[in-house]
Amino acid sequence: QKEVEQNSGPLSVPEGAIASLNCTYSDRVSQSFFWYRQYSGKSPELIMSIYSNGDKEDGRFTAQLNKASQYVSLLIRDSQPSDSATYLCAVLGNTDKLIFGTGTRLQVFP
């Protein structure tokens, strides 16, 4: 069974701090990795995609991938209360279905 694991949280950080979200996956053939943000009752919204080892930055967001350790992370700099949501890690393997983790709930308090 191919799994994606995340700490369910909640992760609470003060406004302006860095939030660090982590994810591990079990299928070594996975090639594409995604972070989605999901507000309560809404659909997943793509934040970042990453395919190669290393870091990828987009604005306040940085995704990090380590395929040897089967580990993906998302850093959110200068966290804002509007970043409060559940962050879903998703992995695409050798088929085109996304496998999601359970998500980490992030709370940014003023």
Partner 1 sequence: EPEVTQTPSHQVTQMGQEVILRCVPISNHLYFYWYRQILGQKVEFLVSFYNNEISEKSEIFDDQFSVERPDGSNFTLKIRSTKLEDSAMYFCASINYRGSDTQYFGPGTRLTVL
Cβ 52 vs Cβ 29: under 8 Å? no
Complex with partner 1: residue 17 or 70, whichever CB lies closer: 70
Helices (H), 2-108: none
- To partner 1, the closest distance from the beta carbon of 70 in angstroms equals 18
- To partner 1, the closest distance from the beta carbon of 48 in angstroms equals 11
Cis ω before 14 (30° cut-off from 0)? no
Complex with partner 1: residue 17 or 49, whichever CB lies closer: 49
Nearest CA-CA partner of 21 in 110, 92, 85? 85
- To partner 1, the closest distance from the beta carbon of 69 in angstroms equals 22
CA Rg value for the chain: 13
Complex with partner 1: residue 95 or 110, whichever CB lies closer: 95
Query: Which residues bind to partner 1, rule: CB under 8 A?
Result: 32, 34, 41-46, 49, 51, 88, 90, 95-103
